[in-house]
Amino acid sequence: MSDKSKPDLYIDHINSHILPFIDYGVLDKSYSTDMIYAKGILNRLHEAMITIYGSERIGEHSSDDGFVVIPGIVRGRESGTLGLALLDLDLSSSGEHWGTSFLCKYGVISQGGNGSASNDDAVLKSEIKEIVEAYVPYDYCYTAVIPSDIHVSNSQLPAELKNVLNDFHNHHAELLFEEDNAPSQDSSSESVSVCVNGEIKPGDLVLSSPDNDYAGLVGTVIYIEKAGTPEHGTENPGDDIHVNFTEAEYSQSRFIEIDRMLGDLYGRPTRPGIWPPIDVDDAIMAPDMLIRITGIEQDKLTEILDSGAAASTFFNSVAESQASARTALSEPDALKNIENTAEKPSVLAQLRDAAKEPKQPTAKDKPNKSGPEL
């Protein structure tokens, strides 16, 4: 049984199965149109909440220290802008609101986060400023049922928020790779590794990054040699992923491009239509050189197989989306006088580094809040 709290497990779950696979551009457009895609994403976040917490009815017992992270909706009081969010609530204090992470066109941006930013500060502040202007101050609500919360009353919500709450169950949004991109639950740890966008196992379809010897190639994972095991035969610090790149149906022009790339790389003569005499059918790849594309739509796969540039663009877009979902954003100056500076780790601080165990504060660790209630 996991030692992690339910909020941590929820964050791990959505970080593995939902957040990296959201089309944030489509999501942003949805906010200003029919909200259909946004409602579908909210439904996915809600279903994940039920899976982890065990029910949509959540109480103080749902977390060891009373803190919960749940999906919700926000509406700027001045702008009227709607958006999805992940809300941090303290149920030991009757649902006191501690933090918000907005799902926006830039990915997931945390209000009041205390992690260090990996992005350029000027760009980061500009993005945060845009979110502040769009939403703060805001009303919020959530999909969970929390009888003990004295701060939110569904009967007094703005009509726009009520409409989303009443209708989101009727929608189911498609993710970038859909459900079959999620790793199987019964995969053994011996045959599973973690690439750029989640777990991979033998049989998965993968795309190679644009910055390695096999740039932009599509292949199938043959087997995995785990680091630290007798089978691990290289000096690579991580797992060795053995990939067969020869079975993909590349276009003729793309195959010629690949043939020349590999021939030039290894100094071997090439013949049209024939793979160079190198181990393309059993290439050893590092996990961070691959993204998992099992279940990718056929039109998108065809585009990747036809063009090296398209393959690079797609890889980078998935990698950037994953990085955005994991990056903890530091609190900008624009927010310091708007939201409290509570020391509780934000959702994004936990998403930033999956290898670390985020610490949830106990009641005695919580600082005194200051500043206006949003």
Q: In whole numbers, what is the pLDDT of the chain averaged over residues?
A: 76
Q: Which residue has the tokens 């944030």?
A: 24
Distance CA 218, CA 337 (A): 49
Residue 320 has pLDDT above 80, yes or no: yes
Q: Report the pLDDT averaged over residues 353-367.
A: 35
Instruction: Determine the pLDDT at residue 145.
Output: 84
Instruction: Determine the pLDDT at residue 152.
Output: 81
Q: Report the pLDDT averaged over residues 199-207.
A: 89
Q: Which residues contact 114 (CB under 8 A, 6 or more apart)?
A: 328, 330, 331, 343, 345, 346, 349
User: Is 182-295 a CATH 2.30.30 domain?
Assistant: yes
Instruction: Determine the pLDDT at residue 217.
Output: 94
Candidate ranges 51-55, 82-86, 273-277, 313-317; pick with highest mean pLDDT? 82-86
What percent of the chain lies above the pLDDT cut of 90? 32
Helix, strand or coil, per DSSP, at residue 247? coil
Q: Report the pLDDT averaged over residues 123-147.
A: 84
Which of the four pLDDT bands, split at 50, 70 and 90, describes residue 41?
Answer: very high
Interval 52-106: pLDDT, tens: 888 888 876 666 667 889 999 999 999 999 999 999 988 877 777 878 999 998 8
Which of the four pLDDT bands, split at 50, 70 and 90, describes residue 121?
Answer: low
Residue 119 has pLDDT above 50, yes or no: no
Which of the four pLDDT bands, split at 50, 70 and 90, describes residue 20?
Answer: confident
Of the two residues 114 and 185, the one the predictor is more confident about is 185
Q: Report the pLDDT averaged over residues 176-198.
A: 62
Q: Which residues contact 2 (CB under 8 A, 6 or more apart)?
A: 9
Which of the four pLDDT bands, split at 50, 70 and 90, describes residue 358?
Answer: very low
Residue 264 has pLDDT above 80, yes or no: no
Distance CA 357, CA 346 (A): 13
Instruction: Determine the pLDDT at residue 241.
Output: 93
Torsion of CA 28, 32, 34, 37, to 10 degrees: 10
Interval 243-253: pLDDT, tens: 988 888 888 88
Element (DSSP H or E) covering residue 330:
none
Instruction: Determine the pLDDT at residue 57.
Output: 85
Instruction: Name which of 13-22, 85-94, 213-222, 318-327 the model is least confident about.
Output: 318-327
Across the beta sheet with 82-90, what order do the strands follow? 107-111, 96-104, 82-90, 67-76, 138-142
What percent of the chain lies above the pLDDT cut of 70? 72
Of the candidates 10, 137, 136, which has an alpha carbon nearest to the alpha carbon of residue 67? 10
Which of the four pLDDT bands, split at 50, 70 and 90, describes residue 359?
Answer: very low
Distance CA 4, CA 21 (A): 24
How distant is the alpha carbon of residue 33 from its chain centre?
24
Distance CA 147, CA 259 (A): 64
Which of the four pLDDT bands, split at 50, 70 and 90, describes residue 312?
Answer: very high
Interval 146-170: pLDDT, tens: 877 777 877 788 899 999 999 999 9
Residue 189 has pLDDT above 70, yes or no: no
Domains of the chain, by residue range, sit at: 6-176+325-364, 182-295
- What single string gives the DSSP state of each residue in 183-232? PPTT--GGG-EEETTEEE-TT-EEEE-TTSTTTT-EEEEEEEE-TTSTT-
Give this prediction's pTM. Answer: 0.52
Instruction: Name which of 10-14, 194-198, 326-330, 367-371 the model is least confident about.
Output: 367-371
